[in-house]
Structure 1
């Protein structure tokens, strides 16, 4: 997220016209094949929901016939699990085994290939970490992404997001930045500036950090945490539709749900913990971000590499039980269908809380309460391979992040944007669609064919790019039924009580415990669990 320089441009078609075009395109997309346009092949990839559903049918799995031992077992190899393994490695503890549901580690930070081009399957960037995230800073130093030069930290520019970073399709053309500016009135700009001041006031009144600080939440933060962001905006008379669209987009992008679902604390935290909220030209530029063609998979792959055979993928953990002298963990090898049993001195449960509550025998009350309270946003990520570059509308050049005003999706990220080769050529566009606000979305993920998501993506993106369908060669769709925890009202208060979760042999590490899903929270939780183990 961020903003570019202020611009004043002639008004094009209004938002209603844009909506009409989108609706017409949505109706036309299923008829592409009938109109003579080529059928675009593809399918689902990643995230095998059938594996997760083995948890519901554990009675059909034969008991384990073999038992293996390790000093520390980590259940789950998302970023939290990988961070825990790294913390143990740094302490010289190598007798570790990780069990991961999918065929590769990384969780929401995994990547893939479409048409020979690397692309993200989930998270696609990492903001430059501040001093509140020393674990992330140390990881980046270990990976050679930053080094100290003349007393200052310097990042490898090859991995910083290249310019231009972002643009918005608004009023019939592209503009720099994502905050709507073309043709907006003085009243809109006044609300932008008033919100900027409110965010700055919040930063001065309380500490906002990523990851969340261990300091107790302040009274103003808890007051924000008790209400939705929508309710707070209404009470503070932030009613401008352009501002509300932008804030809703930011919440859906980071949290998977919009203004009416996330807490006012989460809405303010989004800005106050990082770069603030600024009208372009009124404040500093947005913070730089690190990104790669495969997104944050660049990081997760390098965190997983030292593990070798200690990382066991394709394992569905079905039972974790803390016994008198050890922890027992049962898992099904999906390749063979055979159950395995592991015994360990300690177990780090780096699983989403709703999974942890299901597989941990006699789960602690705090784990049960968290599993009942936390709601997870479903997501769809569609990767579209293009044979050649798209024709473009008026305005700034194609950017890394390209967003369309007023759509349900979050626009697209260009996997080839970071390439050092200036020659135009084939690329992959990654389209993101959060579903946290939509009733029945998880069931739709199971029921709808992949073509439904392909057609919705084309309906949205063909508005600025009418030639997209003709130049597309393949679409691969990734479904996440429980992609990320949504920070609803009460999240901050609940997070403050997580320290009460203690066990002699079980340690819990996942971004769910923070109530929202970002790399820094998962990294901090995993590192702490590895340190304590």
Structure 2
């Protein structure tokens, strides 16, 4: 299902062939799908109209991303059914939504979930509820149908593909030595100042504060870790999880990427093992669709929450119904504010100090996801076999995933398929404006250019492109941010308000959003 905008499948638009690319003169259909920047920007204009109707409910959840859906689930687990969830887009799920191209499901955003660590017991419970995890002979086992199928990932470098994303082929002894030194430093920090995911489950030690005060690039420089291959890989990891590279994110975040999970293992380490992840053709929408399904009419999509005001009796929430153009009002005992912090600061009539200060400190990375429908499989270069995750060394983008890699059916070489290409635009001042102002053809050309050497037949086999833009895709943990959030957190309860969003962790991953939403749902009502 395509979200608010109808994908322009019937209105094929010309896309110029790029130099050096074996592209036909046939037009390529495409357009923007999945999000509505115009709808979100309605908050910039005054909504002076009077509410057309006022309704009463026990709890209002403002925001239908992962945190809002987790809060709704927690309310229902407590037996509280008297609530409403207000969501901006036409489909709940936030950055974990999906669409279809040519009948093939594909993600519009987040596309995998690492197996949760013990600190993420709320996420573990969700996976058990959905039948993804069960105890067998005293041990937890995951349903292998939903674990990423092999081969999992590969890297295109020096004209061929290698297994895994850490550069390994044609590296010297100096590079290998720096891999081992970095692994040793991560292991030492894991012992002296433990990390956790979700982050709130670990104390913020002085070692964490020292890391948070500098960029990852600065920390690497002080450690004498200057190898180009190591830097590229760590930069890729930071862009993948945090939306910006080594020069933008804090060293706390760069270390947390590894230390909150299984560490970093250099080639040849006895414990080296690729991290297992859960993934689906539609990405994490497999999870959010199942969270949203039982909500029925309690889920109200296409609602622009415009004002949240507290009073002695509770809270009043106003939202614009974009379908009717009318303003709705909800009177409730509590409101779970599962909105990005910069939105919460705008719509709260009297935002608490913690909200104002967090909104001033947070910076957001814009993202773009391009799903491209192919009429047949791509010709492959030598080396590692086609994988679920495919990355080009040296690229500013994040490569692509094969949305059909998890399918259990046998695919013929001439059968259609969909590739999902990801690009985090980083913290450049003009990145968000460029994302919103450039036509879809511009981003398609960028994708073709990035992948041209690895897949010279990509343009010739592409039939449709659906591009999703996220102007404020994720909070980026810049230096000093996590310490500021820890020093002045959003309390679980501020009168009738409860705050639940991954922004309060300083970065955006499923475990953070789900845990905060679940805890808010336990505290509301």
Determine which of 473, 482, 501 is the counterpart of 1:492: 482
* Residue 444 (str. 1) matches residue 434 (str. 2): yes
1:39 alignment partner, one of 18, 24, 27: 27
> Residue 387 in 1 paired to residue 372 in 2?
no
1:145 aligns with 2:132: yes
Aligned 8 A contact 1:37 1:470 in 2? no
CA 1:238–1:438 in 2, change beyond 3 Å: closer, same or farther?
same
Question: Which residue in the other structure is 1:11 paired with?
Answer: none
What are the superposed Cα offsets for residues 181-216 of structure 1, whole Å, 9 maximum, x if unpaired?
111110010000000000000100111110013443
Q: d(CA) in 2 for partners of 1:33 and 1:452?
A: 16
Q: How does 1:504-515 map to 2 (within 5 A)?
A: 504-515=495-506
Distance in structure 2 (CA, Å) of the matches to 1:364 and 1:137: 32
From 341, 351, 355, the counterpart of 2:343: 355
In the other structure, the counterpart of 1:427 is: 417
Quote the Cα distance in structure 2 between the aligned partners of 1:429 and 1:482: 23
Structure 1 residues 169, 338: CA separation in 2 closer, same or farther (over 3 Å shift)?
Answer: same
Alpha-carbon displacement from aligned partner over 1:34-64 (angstroms, at most 9, x marks no partner): 97432221000011011111101124x5221
Summarize deviations over 1:286-334 as a string: whole Å, max 9, x none: 2210000000000000000110110000000000000110210000011
Cα deviation digits, residues 155-196 of structure 1 (max 9, x gap):
110000000000000111000000111111100100000000
SS class of match (1:260): coil
Q: Deviations over 1:450-476 (max 9, x none)?
A: 000001001111211111111111000
- CA distance in structure 2 between the partners assigned to 1:73 and 1:83 by the alignment: 13
> Partner residue of 2:328?
340
Cα distance, 1:408 vs structure 2 = 1.1
Q: Could you tell me which of 40, 50, 59 is aligned with 2:38?
A: 50
Give the distance between the partners of 1:196 and 1:368, measured in 2 at CA.
Answer: 38
The 1:41/1:133 distance shift into structure 2, 3 A limit, reads same
Q: Residue 200 of structure 1: which of 165, 178, 187 is its match?
A: 187
The answer to whether residue 57 in structure 2 is matched with residue 70 in structure 1 is yes
Q: After TM superposition, give the deviation of residue 269 of structure 1 in Å.
A: 0.5
Of 522-531 and 438-447, the range deviating more from structure 2: 438-447
2:7 corresponds in structure 1 to: none
Match of residue 404 from structure 2: 416
Measured in 1, the distance between the counterparts of 2:25 and 2:383 equals 28
Deviation at 1:421, TM superposition (A): 1.4
Of 367, 370, 394, the residue aligned with 2:358 is: 370
Moved over 6 A (4+): 32-35
Deviation at 1:492, TM superposition (A): 2.3
Task: With the length of structure 1 as denominator, give the TM-score of the two structures.
Answer: 0.93
| SS of match in other structure, 1:307 | helix
Paired with 1:34 and 1:396, the residues of 2 have a C-alpha distance of 24
CA distance in 1, matches of 2:78, 2:277: 30
**Structure 2 alignment gaps of length 5 or more:** 1-14
User: Which runs of 5 or more residues in structure 1 are unaligned?
Assistant: 1-26
Cα displacement (A) at 1:439: 2.7
For 2:508, the equivalent position in structure 1 comes to 517
For residue 28 of structure 1, report the CA deviation from its aligned partner.
Answer: 8.4
**Count of aligned pairs between the two proteins:** 506
**What's the counterpart of residue 521 of structure 2?**
530
Contact 2:93 2:289 (8 Å CA) reproduced: yes
Q: Describe how 1:102-113 pairs up with structure 2 within 5 A.
A: 102-113=89-100
**2:277 alignment partner in structure 1:** 289
Of 460, 467, 478, the match for 2:450: 460
Partner of 2:12: none
- Distance in structure 1 (CA, Å) of the matches to 2:426 and 2:16: 27
Question: What residue in structure 2 maps to residue 225 of structure 1?
Answer: 212
SS of 1:328's partner is strand
1:407 matched to 2:395? The reply is yes
* Deviation of the 1:280 alpha carbon: 2.7
Question: What displacement does 1:504 show?
Answer: 1.3
Q: Select the residue among 268, 293, 310 that pairs with 1:322.
A: 310
Q: Secondary structure at the match of 2:46?
A: helix
Partner residue, 1:114? 101
Partner of 2:11: none
- In the alignment, the residues of structure 2 paired with residue 215 and residue 164 of structure 1 have an alpha-carbon distance, to the nearest angstrom, of 34
**Aligned-partner Cα distance in 2 for 1:35–1:96:** 53
Report the Cα distance in structure 2 between the residues aligned to 1:366 and 1:298, rounded to whole angstroms.
34
TM-score by length of 2: 0.94
- Are the counterparts in 1 of residues 155 and 392 from structure 2 also a CA contact under 8 Å? yes
Pair 1:95–1:35, CA change in 2 (3 A): closer
Match of 1:477 in 2: 467
Is 1:183 matched with 2:170?
yes
